[in-house]
Amino acid sequence: MSNLDNAVMVRDDQGNPFILVRDQDKKKRLHGIEAVKSHILATKTVANIVRTSLGPRGLDKILISPDGDITVTNDGATILEQMEVEHQIAKLLVQLSKSQDDEIGDGTTGVVVLAGSLLEQAESLIDKGIHPIRIADGFERACQHSVKHLDSISDIVNFDKVDTTNLFRAAKTSLGSKVVSKAHDHFAKIAVEAVLSVADFERKDVDFELIKVDGKVGASVDDTTLVKGVVVDKDMSHPQMPHRIEDAKLAILTCPFEPPKPKTKHKLDITSVNEFEALQNYERETFEGMIKHVKDAGANLVICQWGFDDEANHLLLQNNLPAVRWVGGPEIELIAIATNGRIVPRFEDLSSDKLGKAGLVREVTFGTTRDKILVIEQCANTRAVTIFVRGSNKMIVDEAKRALHDALCVVRNLIRDNRVVYGGGAAEVSCSLAVNQEAEKIPGIDQYSMRAFADALDTVPLALAENSGLSSIEALTAVKARQVKENNSHLGIDCLHTGHNNMKEQFVIDPLIGKKQQLLLATQLCRMVLKVNDIIVAGSKDDEYN
């Protein structure tokens, strides 16, 4: 009986017809090689989605959430994170891009493209009758050789706190493929200054907790600024409080400006006017006592994690004590770090040595709107900084934040390890040639796997050429021939149509640790997928796969 004999036409709520095949949800579970090929197909499909976003000419994707929120991005990690990927094996690619993003911060699209290409090559080897485990072993061997080859072709980028030219050019390269590329000079400068402000050169480490990236819709991306301090999206609790405080001493509180209340199982009965007046006097005295604790400590600005009512607000104004309320936990911690203050949980614990210090605290207003932010500058701890992003709409601001994250990570990686390889597919082409040479020395089946690994590496320059409007096969062949003839590993795909292929002259670089991580993570994922030959869903029947 054909599928059409086992089908019925039904209509949805809108009256649109569609065909429903009976028992279509009961698919037979695949075993062995067929299962492996099914998993490879799922991962290839996901990898092909982000392939067109690779490189400086990569295209953006519009992602629409179930709530209707729109995201426009070409960041691989963001695309995969917001996609609804249901296949269990394909979800591994989402986790792969997240691993690259968490560890390195850049190269999330490239690692997914490489993993998809490796699995595509593995499928053709399976069709030739080679066992998946033998393929995985060959890929692992080729990966180790590629990582060693990357060490041999890497260059050292010199920089220091004074001469940051190379760091600036590296940040500018990472921003070339982003939506803010028209302002990449400005953004690269901000990224370098921000990282150098918080970097520890002795430990070769950068604490990203000290860099806050905030944004507000309005103005142009060119108006993005670096604030040596903290920006809080709040304003003074009373409009008549001063909007500018110099030589500020901050009381950072996590206790509310209100009298203690009865617990949930207790109640307070008021039966007369006298009792109500007594309660009112008690509340006023409590407020005054709290304000006295703050004034006695020497504070002239209160940062409070909780709110306070109108009476407390009025008393604060009367006592010339500006206050900011409803400041979130992360902002409270950052303010404490920046001002060298202590977070105080009780008014009784407040003292002058626990106050934060800042040279200037000011309110900033935007255009004709009533939106205000609080800027805390000239802090006691000069290492804490905030990048305040502007943009014409929320999508631009969000994408600018993601672009800045990549630029910050590139600069951070160069401080951790200042060895680099060259981009534009130059490193991949060089590794591909090296793996092919190594494969000639190896007898047996592993030779096939190593050649397949080399072919997979060629996918990155192919995708770059394709996305840049070049003839991909011709561009790759020309670069490979020149690398062999000139023995020059700096030659890559001319994505920006400058007229020459030397990536060293264009200063198109990738941090070595990032490129190594791409190869290692992609190979590990490929090995994992090749070793899976069955999926068993908990609670399903033995002969069915839901």
Q: Which fold has domain 229-381?
A: GroEL (3.50.7)
Does residue 1 register a pLDDT over 70? Answer: no
**pLDDT (0 to 100) of residue 184:** 82
Quick check: helix, strand or coil at residue 29? coil
Q: Which of 71, 73, 78, 109 is catalytic?
A: 109
Quick check: helix, strand or coil at residue 329? helix
Sign of the Cα pseudo-torsion (184, 185, 188, 190, in order): negative
Do 229-381 and 32-156+421-530 fall under one CATH topology?
Answer: no
The CA distances from residue 283 to 288, 304, 311, 325, 506, in Å, are: 9, 19, 9, 19, 69
Mean pLDDT of the chain: 84
Active site residue 498: no
pLDDT in tens, 62-105: 888 888 888 888 888 888 888 877 777 788 888 888 888 888 88
Rounded average pLDDT over 435-446: 86
**What is the Cα gyration radius of the chain?**
30
**pLDDT (0 to 100) of residue 524:** 92
**pLDDT (0 to 100) of residue 544:** 43
Q: What is the rounded CA–CA span in Å between residue 119 and residue 525? A: 9
Cβ atoms 111, 96 nearer than 8 A: yes
Active site residue 165: no
**pLDDT (0 to 100) of residue 469:** 87
Q: Which of 43, 73, 75, 459 is catalytic?
A: 75
Residue with tokens 């604490």: 207
Active site residue 109: yes
Instruction: Provide the token pair at 123.
Output: 């499928």
Cβ atoms 97, 111 nearer than 8 A: yes
Q: What is the rounded CA–CA span in Å between residue 171 and residue 409? A: 9
Instruction: Return the ∠ at Cα 356 (arms to 355 and 357), rounded to 5°.
Output: 120
> CB atoms < 10 A from the CB of 319, how many?
13
Lowest-confidence segment of 84-93, 182-191, 316-325 by average pLDDT: 84-93
Does residue 4 register a pLDDT over 80? Answer: no
- Domain ranges (residues) in the chain: 32-156+421-530, 229-381
**pLDDT (0 to 100) of residue 523:** 93
Lowest-confidence segment of 9-23, 338-352, 461-475 by average pLDDT: 9-23
What angle do the packed helices 459-467 and 108-127 form, to 10 degrees? 120
The more confident residue out of 111 and 544 is 111
**pLDDT (0 to 100) of residue 537:** 63
Cβ atoms 172, 188 nearer than 8 A: yes
Lowest-confidence segment of 82-86, 320-324, 430-434, 480-484 by average pLDDT: 82-86
Quick check: helix, strand or coil at residue 72? strand
Q: What is the rounded CA–CA span in Å between residue 475 and residue 404? A: 31
The more confident residue out of 186 and 33 is 186
CATH number of 32-156+421-530: 1.10.560.10
Report the side by side order of strands in the sheet with 155-156: 155-156, 419-422, 509-511
Which pLDDT band, with edges at 50, 70 and 90, does 319 fall under?
confident
Does residue 59 register a pLDDT over 50? Answer: yes
Which pLDDT band, with edges at 50, 70 and 90, does 203 fall under?
confident
Cβ atoms 421, 514 nearer than 8 A: no
> CB atoms < 10 A from the CB of 99, how many?
17
Q: What is the rounded CA–CA span in Å between residue 78 and residue 49? A: 13
Q: Which of 60, 406, 494, 510 is catalytic?
A: 406
Quick check: helix, strand or coil at residue 458? coil
Quick check: helix, strand or coil at residue 526? helix
Q: Which residues contact 132 (CB under 8 A, 6 or more apart)?
A: 33, 36, 122, 126, 530, 531, 533
**pLDDT (0 to 100) of residue 55:** 82
Does residue 487 register a pLDDT over 80? Answer: yes
Q: What is the pTM of this model?
A: 0.79
Q: What is the rounded CA–CA span in Å between residue 455 and residue 465? A: 16
Q: Which of 43, 52, 108, 164 is catalytic?
A: 108
For the chain, the first-to-last Cα distance in angstroms comes to 23
Does residue 13 register a pLDDT over 70? Answer: no
**Which backbone phi and psi does 360 adopt, to 5 degrees?**
-155, 130
Rounded average pLDDT over 232-245: 88
Which pLDDT band, with edges at 50, 70 and 90, does 481 fall under?
very high
Q: What percent of the chain has pLDDT over 70?
A: 90
Active site residue 223: no
**pLDDT (0 to 100) of residue 394:** 87
> CB atoms < 10 A from the CB of 442, how many?
17
* Cα of 490 vs its chain's centroid, Å: 29
pLDDT in tens, 381-406: 778 889 999 888 888 888 889 889 88
Which pLDDT band, with edges at 50, 70 and 90, does 538 fall under?
low
Instruction: Provide the token pair at 10.
Output: 């039904």
**pLDDT (0 to 100) of residue 25:** 42
| Residue 110: half-sphere exposure toward Cβ, Cα within 13 Å | 29
